[in-house]
Amino acid sequence: MMGVDEEKSEGEGKVWSLCRMPKLWQMSSGNGNGSSSSSSSSMGNNNVYQQTPSSERSAVTSSNAFFSMAKSLLPARRRLRLDPSNKLYFPYEPGKQVRSAIDIKNTSKSHVAFKFQTTAPKSCYMRPPEGILGPGESLIATVFKFVEPPENNEKPMEKKSRVKFKIMSLKVKGETDYVPELFEEQKDEVTVEQILLVVFLDPERSCPALEQLKRHLAEAEAALESRKKPQEETGPRIVGEGLVIDEWKERRERYLAKQQVEGVAPT
């Protein structure tokens, strides 16, 4: 009996050992799958790592495009303050050349160039048509326009003008001299300040707009007259027939006279 039991136990051990072998094989094959999956995941990670820069570049490009679009939708920052703000008032006098005026002030902290444009350059012109204003500086520009007589049965004050004026501005460096090429060379930096419409006023009927126009025209005339006056000369003064009196020459003469009085020979 003991022999049979021993044979049984040995046979059962062999059976168990045979049953355990597949498990070991499954574990080894499982480890193989794990290693293959880990290698595939590492390859995937490498692929993701390699793709990251291009995705980041596309994200940056899209964000730049978004900000550019948003910036284009925002209203341009004004550099000039206009008075009147969006209209040019003219006295209605058919068949005559009439005048309007507008006060232009630089409200920025830098020098700003401005320029007028009109849809009717043959019948309208501006004085000055362009220029440069320093920070806080202002001027009154005069606008000249020929008023066409009314046609057919059109009532005088019902006549509407299709003429428009445009004022543009450009930031410039320091005290730059104005040249016409400024706005062409830096056209991407040009800001359209305002489109001005023409409004006719009855010169016989007083109103706030007409009174303001009269004040602006008087100030513009005064400024023009002051510019016409000759500037005071700051250089050497000419007296008599070409005798130049120079400050340094006077100092030299006084110095020599003093040396002679003290008995010292001049050098």
Q: Output DSSP code: residue 110.
A: S
- Predicted confidence (pLDDT) per residue in 173-212, tens digit: 887 888 888 999 999 999 999 999 999 999 999 999 999 9
Q: Which of 76, 77, 170 is nearest to 131 (CA)?
A: 170
- State which H helix or E strand residue 166 sits in: strand 164-172
- Predicted confidence (pLDDT) per residue in 116-152, tens digit: 999 999 899 999 999 999 999 999 999 999 998 877 7
User: Which residues, in sequence order, are CB contacts of 200 under 8 Å at separation 6+?
Assistant: 89, 90, 91, 92, 147, 157, 159, 161
CB 137 within 8 A of CB 106: yes
- Mean pLDDT is lowest, of 47-56, 162-171, 192-201, 209-218, for 47-56
CA 237 to chain centre: 46
Q: Which of 169, 174, 145, 149 is nearest to 159 (CA)?
A: 149
Domains and CATH numbers, the chain: 80-228 (2.60.40.10)
In whole angstroms, what is the distance from residue 203 CA to residue 211 CA? 10
Highest mean pLDDT among 136-140, 243-247, 248-252: 136-140
CA 220 to chain centre: 28
pLDDT given for residue 168 in this prediction: 96
